Amino acid sequence: MKEILHMTSNGIGIMGVAIIVWGVILTTYRLLKLEFKRFRQQSIYPERETLRHQLGSYLLLGLEFLIAADIIGTITHPTLNDMAVLGSIVLIRTIISFFLEREVAEFTPTDNKGP
């Protein structure tokens, strides 16, 4: 049973990292396209803000997966030290998630077109 939980925890953790990496790749690609647009003397500020918030949403989703992986991983190693480490990791990630989510929620796109 511990082996299954350990593999599940690793799988969920890998998915979380993959989500973050995918968001960074997409955002980088879109940002490069916008920067070329800027070289043609066009304003890209609204689109760049949209990109920033899209990356934030990928980060939030990835962090949620990583928190889930940490919780499942701690079930397999329930020592007091591991519980303290998990608690601090979850606290830090929750604080980061809170501020990212708040910033994303405050954002209102200027138009409904995708980047």
The number of C-alpha atoms within 13 Å of 43 and in the hemisphere containing its C-beta is 3
Cβ atoms of residues 27 and 54 within 8 Å: yes
According to the model, what pLDDT value does residue 19 have? 97
According to the model, what pLDDT value does residue 109 have? 56
According to the model, what pLDDT value does residue 82 have? 77
> Does the pLDDT of residue 5 top 80, yes or no?
yes
| Residue from 4, 15, 6 nearest 74 by CA | 6
Phi, psi (deg, nearest 5) at residue 92: -65, -45
> Does the pLDDT of residue 111 top 50, yes or no?
no
pTM over 0.85: no
> Does the pLDDT of residue 112 top 60, yes or no?
no
pLDDT in tens, 9-62: 999 999 999 999 999 999 999 999 888 887 777 777 788 888 888 898 898 899
Phi, psi (deg, nearest 5) at residue 113: -80, 140
The residue type found at 113 is K
